Amino acid sequence: MTPTSQIALKVIVERAVRPVRATLERKKRMREELLAHVTEVLDEEVGKSADAQAAIAATARRLGNADEIAAELQRTVPAYDRFFFAMERITLARPEEGVVRRALRWAVFVATMNGLAASCVSMPVGLFSGKWIGLVPLTLVLATLVFGSAIMTFQFVLLGSLLRSVLFVPGHRSPLKVCLVSLGSLLLPILTVFLLYLGLTGDVTWSIAMLGRSVVVVPLIPLILFFVTWKFDEERKYLDEWASLPIE
């Protein structure tokens, strides 16, 4: 099969799958199944006609109306998948989105989730104790954690974008830059955690002591960053490939 025919088949598939509101993994399976089906149909049509364009047109006709197929696929999506789809709309990579905007979006999302979790912790304690004034230290700690999670998420996304560029983008690959980004992923969290402790307590000695406990997990951050960046790069390439198809 020629690359042109392969793209044409993907266009046929994408017309039916793109309107479906479902998670990325579910839509991947839909695309794979439909693509396998139309590939088989095209092989049959090529045997009937030497004209490749006519065979592709016949394949599209045999598949059926794209809107009807999309509606049928939508009916197969369970309710729980729609919930995760809503979450993915916030977290998934978006074509043409700037790095800073994506980092801000993720920071707000993580801070919101942590804020809700913090509320679930602080509200019952306050209600059962009946002493909201006594909750001030706990509330301050939780607020600091929420703010800190937003800052560190913002940093993580920016560093991940830089790492993706120097690892996977042709013309930008550089072992030196990879080392610098990895070093940044070690130092920035340490500095951020120290400043959060210092802002929370105002005690430099205590902040340094607490930072020493946090440093234990810091060496894992570059490894986590590399893994997340690798998965993000795969996801971004997949989304860009299908989003670029001219389905109109």
DSSP state string for 104-157: HHHHHHHHHHHHHHHHHHHHHHHHHH--SGGGHHHHHHHHHHHHHHHHHHHHHH
Question: Residue 137: its pLDDT value, please?
Answer: 64
pLDDT, averaged per 10 consecutive residues of the chain (248 residues), comes to 82 90 91 91 79 84 88 90 82 74 87 81 55 53 82 88 82 80 84 82 78 74 85 83 81
Distances from the Cα of 51 to the Cαs of 45, 139, 164, in angstroms?
9, 71, 43
Give the pLDDT of residue 128.
47
Backbone angle region of 171, left / alpha / beta, with phi > 0 → left and psi within -120 to 50 → alpha: left
Residue 33 has what pLDDT?
Answer: 92
pTM above threshold 0.75? no
In the structure, how many helices (H) and strands (E) does the chain have? 10, 0
Q: What is the pLDDT of residue 124?
A: 61
| pLDDT value of residue 206 | 76
Q: Residues of 82-101 as b/e, b for ≥16 C-beta within 10 angstroms?
A: eeebeeeeeeeeeeeeeeee
